Amino acid sequence: MIVALVFVVSYEMFVDSKQSRDMFGFGFIFSSNWNPVTEEFGALPFIFGTIVSSLLALILSLPVSIGVAVFLSEIAPKSVRTPFSFLIEILAAIPSIIYGFWGIFVFAPFMRATVQPFLQSTLGFLPFFQGVIYGTGLLTASFILAIMITPIISAITRDVLKAIPVSQREAAYALGATRWEAIKMALLNAKSGILGGAVLGLGRAIGETMAVTMVIGNKAQIKASLFEPAYSMASVIANEFAEASGSLHISSLIEVGLILFGVTFIINSLARLLIYSVTRKA
């Protein structure tokens, strides 16, 4: 049933994007010109924005999430563990538009006043941290996404760590391992589960729309600097679909949806492969 749904959805998008596919062909993926007035459409800036913001969010979130999970499952006493887990799970339940508004009114000014000037003064020699400081932009969007996916990854990691039998841990201690060595061993055993959690988090980051739209700056361009405004696939669909009047415009937006589908599919498959190779070695 669900498999059928996936096929129906992708088939439907494939059919509806016919006009745009016929018009632009593969150039659609490689062109960075998006202009509804002249009816020229190219999706590269959106693909770039989605992939960069999501991967950056994953990189920012993964160490924090694993740290939280280790703390909750291995270190924290029971009295701390329960309320803490609860709070983190609550974080996952906050609607994304709330994150978006918080992002634009609270977090972006903070980024502009504190984080970005700091990055520019310390790492300003890198092209990623050059240019005008706006507060909003690709980096801020990545941070918001990182905050949003942390609860998911840490909850899954915690559950995976909990599932490791106590006997293994006791065995490690019996062999004279320190606490950190025992935790390291547990993490090694749990790595396929942790990767699975990361994939789920990444999936959410790729599909996230509202929160990203509020802070990414919504400009279809590809710049090396993370301070510059960018655009994501989900955002452009949300922003333009309701008011798109030309049929080519609509068709192009649907093709962006199809590409988003494709990108999610590819990234998930790669992650599966990674998990497979990791578990086989072990």
Partner 1 sequence: MIKTLIICLSLLFLVSCGKNEQNDKPKKSQLNGAGATFPYPLYSKWFNEYSKVDKDAKINYQSIGSGGGVKQITEGTVDFGASDSPMSNEEIEKANQKSGNKIIHIPTVIGSVVLTYNVPGIDKEIKLTPESISGIFLGNIKKWNDPIIAKENPDLNLPAKDIIVCYRTDGSGTTFVFADFLGKVSEEWKTKVGVAKDVRFPVGQGGKGNEGVTGLVKQLEYSIGYVELVYALQNKLQYALVKNADGEFVKPSLEALSKAAEQSVAEMPEDLRQSITNAKGKESYPISSYTYLLIYENQKDSFKGKTLKEFLNWALTKGESFASELGYAPLPKVVIEKAIQKVNMIKVQ
Interface residue list for partner 1 (CB under 8 A): 34-38, 101, 104-105, 108-109, 112, 132, 134-137, 213-214, 217-220, 229, 235, 238-240, 242-245, 249
CB 241 within 8 A of CB 105: no
With tokens 């009816």, the residue in question is 39
Q: From residue 9, how far is each of 108, 231, 238 by CA, in Å?
A: 36, 24, 17
Residue type present at position 60:
L
* Closer of 186 and 230 to partner 1 (Cβ): 230
Q: How far is the CB of 276 from partner 1 (least distance, A)?
A: 40
Q: How far is the CB of 170 from partner 1 (least distance, A)?
A: 54
With tokens 């649907």, the residue in question is 254
* Closer of 167 and 245 to partner 1 (Cβ): 245
* Closer of 33 and 277 to partner 1 (Cβ): 33
Q: Is residue 196 within a helix (H) or strand (E), and if so which, with residue range?
A: helix 191-207
- Residue of 224, 47, 61, 77 whose CA lies nearest to 147: 61
* Closer of 32 and 264 to partner 1 (Cβ): 32
* Closer of 23 and 271 to partner 1 (Cβ): 23
How many CB atoms lie under 10 A from the CB of residue 127? 11
Q: How far is the CB of 12 from partner 1 (least distance, A)?
A: 18
Q: How far is the CB of 239 from partner 1 (least distance, A)?
A: 4
Q: How far is the CB of 133 from partner 1 (least distance, A)?
A: 10
Q: How far is the CB of 98 from partner 1 (least distance, A)?
A: 13
* Closer of 61 and 252 to partner 1 (Cβ): 252
Q: Is residue 257 within a helix (H) or strand (E), and if so which, with residue range?
A: helix 247-281
Beta bridge partner(s), residue 40: 35
What's the CA dihedral at 127, 133, 134, 137 to 10 degrees? 20
CB 278 within 8 A of CB 199: no
* Closer of 1 and 242 to partner 1 (Cβ): 242
* Closer of 4 and 132 to partner 1 (Cβ): 132
Cβ partners under 8 Å of residue 66, min gap 6: 153, 154, 157, 187, 194
Q: How far is the CB of 27 from partner 1 (least distance, A)?
A: 18
CA 257 – CA 12 distance, rounded (Å): 11
Q: How far is the CB of 244 from partner 1 (least distance, A)?
A: 6
For residue 116, the Cα-to-chain-centroid distance in whole angstroms is 21
- Please report, in angstroms and rounded to a whole number, the separation of the first and last CA atoms in the chain: 35
